Amino acid sequence: MTANERRFPMLRWLWLALAVIVLDLGTKAIATAMLTYAQPVPVLPVFNFTLLHNTGAAFSFLAGAGGWQRWFFIILALVVSGVLVRWLATLKANETWLAVALSLILGGALGNVYDRIVHGYVVDFLHFYWGNYHFPAFNLADTAITIGAFMLILDMFRKPTEEH
């Protein structure tokens, strides 16, 4: 174990963030190559693959804002990613749950920021619906961010003496 590994043991979880990025970008590339924009491909009675481009944030927030939001979200994601790496570096060796949560959020954020930098939008393709209600399309990066955020919320309710 190197000196840095002893000082920052939870940075070893950066592999998970990298795995999220690779899986996210890989699935987005497959979706882009195999799907026609905005044409649903039924998979289940409540789920389609539907290729969409999101210039906004979650649930297309600020999607029609005229272009400035692209750079705003890129800068925001990079700053948050820096904070997450720093937070990860400060975790104790027994705080695995929190390290996994932060790594999932980090990987998802960087997967989506790649899209914003390269394409100017985020590629979404997972589309759930129920009757006439359609949940906004999303991707694996969004899924990782959501799972990580849920884990952070659960972590707040865990006992302080509990091993992480």
Within a domain: 134:
yes
User: The whole model's pTM is what?
Assistant: 0.89
CB 114 within 8 A of CB 25: yes
Task: Confirm if 10 and 93 have CB atoms less than 8 A apart.
Answer: yes
The number of helices, as runs of H, and strands, as runs of E, in the chain is: 5, 4
Task: State pLDDT tens for residues 39-80.
Answer: 999 999 999 999 999 986 655 555 555 666 678 889 999 999
Show the domain range for 117.
Answer: 3-156
Determine the pLDDT at residue 7: 80
Please report whether residue 162 resides in a domain.
no
**What pLDDT is recorded for position 72?**
86
Residue at 164 is within a domain:
no
* Residue 163 lies inside a defined structural domain of this protein: no
Domain tally, the chain? 1
Close Cβ partners of 32 (under 8 Å, ≥ 6 residues apart): 51, 123
- Average pLDDT score over the chain: 90
Q: What angle do helix axes 14-34 and 140-156 make, rounded to 10 degrees?
A: 150
Q: What percent of the chain has pLDDT over 90?
A: 79
In a domain, 75, yes or no: yes
Mean pLDDT of 111-121: 95
Instruction: Give CA–CA dist 101/146, Å, rounded.
Output: 9
pLDDT band for position 2 (cuts 50, 70, 90): low
* 112 assigned to some structural domain: yes
Query: Which DSSP state fits 2?
Result: -
pLDDT at 163: 52
Taking residues 129-134, report their average pLDDT: 95
Handedness of CA 127, 131, 132, 135 (dihedral sign): negative
CB 59 within 8 A of CB 44: no
Asked whether residue 22 is assigned to any structural domain, the reply reads: yes
Q: Which residues are catalytic?
A: 124, 142
Model confidence at 110: pLDDT above 70? yes
Distance CA 1, CA 113 (A): 32
Confidence grade of residue 161 (pLDDT, cut at 50, 70, 90): low
> Would residue 161 count as lying in a domain?
no
Residue 25 CB contacts under 8 Å (≥ 6 apart), including other chains = 111, 114
Between 12 and 2, residue with greater pLDDT: 12
